[in-house]
Amino acid sequence: MSSKLQDLSNRVAIVTGAARGLGREYALLLAAQGAKVVVNDYGGTIDGTRGDQSVSQEVVNEIIAGGGEAYADGHDISVQAEVQEIVQTAVERYGKVDILINNAGTAGSASSQDNVNVDSFRRTWEISALGTIMLISAVYPFMERNGYGRIVNTSSDSIVGMGAGGDGGYVASKGAVFGLTRDLGRFSPKHGIKINGVMPSAASRMSDLSPVIKRITRKYFRTQLVAEFVVALASEECPVSGELFSAGGGRAARTTIATVPGHTNESTSQGYLDNFDKVMGTSSELYVPSDTLDLVSVDLSAKGIFSSGNALMQDHEGTGDLARILIRDTDNGCISDK
């Protein structure tokens, strides 16, 4: 699974939250590889309050000084009309959009689990989750028309759980991006579009909020190391779609969802409690389903419908065992009995 990375001289990229930290590194590296870059950033504060695009213009100036091509964009990605303007302007200026890096995010204003700051929670979701899908929605028709696209979303290792308490706005929004990436990334290759996600560990304004984490990230987790992996995901040679990767400090590794055989054929609450060690399973029993239908096949296997938990639906035309029992309802994205 190895291909030689080509330059990006014929590619057009939009990078959100591109004025500082990781976004800045993404924009600079994409430009250095030859891409024309839309540097989107409205110069906001870490809690999501809007500023201006002067910070994104500084990155553009740096790109131009290095012989690259870019322009600054100060639109708010949480507003649909502004998202559409970002994409439309890029298409009018360059004729297409090949790459979208959904990097913009906010930590919000911290609040406790017993006194949630609803406005801050909503703002965090508007930028991280809603902004991500609105940008995908805006670029998708252009990418589909050209039969090519690369989209990189930003989730977070925080979704694994730190046990720190709080309102959970940030981690919940990143969990939403995780699920969105896995689902759309399994749909989009039919249109020549690959959608993946990164869960970065790097020095940033957010990591600087904790003095302990700041010391670690500033010493061991340089932003450039994450940027190199993101450019790999944004390249034509990227071999996968619908995957998410923890990346930082020169390491990149798939982070995924797994299941275990579990405790089966139970009908009482007490029975589940008595066998909770089986419900939890062990690391040696982990199975990584390829998609939702594969996960359902594991459940059916436990009921004796299949002889193996690895019974996959090979297509959606009714030729596989699972397809005769379940089909994907493409009108509403659900799975229904047939």
The answer as to whether 217 is a domain residue is yes
CA angle 314, 318, 323 (to 5 degrees): 65
Residue 246 has pLDDT above 90, yes or no: yes
Residue 23 lies in a domain: yes
Is the model's pLDDT at 278 over the cut of 50?
A: yes
In the prediction, which pLDDT does 115 show?
85
Give yes or no: residues 72 and 135 share one domain: yes
- Are 81 and 220 found together in one domain? yes
pLDDT of residue 327: 40
Extract the tokens encoding 230: 């993101």
Is 167 within a domain?
A: yes
Residues 234 and 90 in one domain: yes
Decide which of 294 and 110 is more confident.
Answer: 294
Distance CA 3, CA 270 (A): 54
| Same-domain check for residues 200 and 318 | no
pLDDT digits (tens, 9 = 90+) for 147-160: 999 999 999 988 88
Same structural domain for residues 206 and 312?
no
Token representation of residue 286: 């982990």
Would you list the DSSP string of 197-250? EEEE----TTGGGSHHHHHHHHHH--HHHHHHHHHHHTSTT---SS-EEEEETT
Residues 225-244: tens digit of each pLDDT? 999 999 999 999 999 999 99
Q: What is the pLDDT of residue 322?
A: 47
What amino acid positions are annotated as catalytic residues? 170
Give, for 25, the enclosing helix (H) or strand (E): helix 21-32
Residues 227 and 301 in one domain: no
Which pLDDT score, from 0 to 100, does residue 241 have?
A: 98
CB 64 within 8 A of CB 52: no
Question: Does 133 score more than 70 pLDDT?
Answer: yes
User: Looking at the domain assignment, is residue 247 inside a domain?
Assistant: yes
Answer for the pair 31, 66: CB distance below 8 angstroms, yes or no. yes
Largest distance between two CA atoms of the chain? 69
The whole-number average pLDDT for the span 68-72 is 97
Contact 59, 19 (CB under 8 A): yes
Q: What residues contact 227, with CB distance under 8 A and at least 6 apart?
A: 22, 25, 26, 28, 29
Residue ending a domain, choose from 206, 239, 254: 254
41: tokens are 């950033």
CA gap 124, 115 in Å, rounded: 16
Q: Which two tokens stand for residue 11?
A: 């590619």
Task: Among 135-139, 224-228, 270-274, name the one with the lowest average pLDDT.
Answer: 224-228
Confidence band of 267 (pLDDT split at 50, 70, 90): very high
CA distance 135 to 40: 12
Give the CATH number for residue 224: 3.40.50.720
Average pLDDT of the chain is: 85
- Among 254, 272, 305, residue at a domain's last position: 254
Mean predicted confidence (pLDDT) in 77-94? 97
- CB–CB of 103/69 below 8 Å? no
Same domain, 293 and 250: no
Per-residue pLDDT of 186-233, as tens digits, reads: 999 999 999 999 999 876 666 666 666 666 676 667 888 999 999 999
Task: Using alpha carbons only, give the angle 132, 133, 136 rounded to the nearest 5 degrees.
Answer: 90
Does some domain include residue 2?
no
Residue 40 shares a structural domain with residue 126: yes
In a domain, 264, yes or no: no
Question: CB–CB of 15/101 below 8 Å?
Answer: yes
The answer to whether position 55 is within a domain reads yes
Among 19, 36, 29, 38, CA closest to 225: 29
Number of domains in the chain: 2
Report for 36-40, 107-111, 289-293, 304-308: range of highest mean pLDDT: 36-40
- β-sheet bridge partners, residue 287: 259
DSSP-derived 3-state class of residue 335: strand
Can you give the pTM of this predicted structure?
0.86
Q: Let me know whether 215 and 323 are in one domain.
A: no
Q: What percent of the chain has pLDDT above 90?
A: 61
Cα–Cα distance for residue pair 189/177, rounded to 1 Å: 18
Helix axes 54-65, 21-32, angle to 10 degrees: 30
Position 298 scores a pLDDT of 79
Residue 328 has pLDDT above 50, yes or no: no
Q: How many Å from the N-terminal Cα to the C-terminal Cα in the chain?
A: 38
Pair 48, 194 in one domain: yes
Whole-number CA gyration radius for the chain:
22
* Average pLDDT value for residue range 86-102: 98
Single residue among 229, 254, 279 that ends a domain in this structure: 254
pLDDT for res 46: 66
State whether 160 and 100 are in the same domain: yes
Average pLDDT, integer, range 109-128: 87
**Any domain includes 138:** yes
Domain identity same for 48 and 166: yes
Helix 118-125 × helix 169-187 angle, to 10° = 20
For residue 107, the enclosing domain spans 12-254
pLDDT in tens, 11-51: 999 999 999 899 999 999 999 999 999 999 988 666 656 76
Give the pLDDT confidence score for residue 96 in this predicted structure: 98
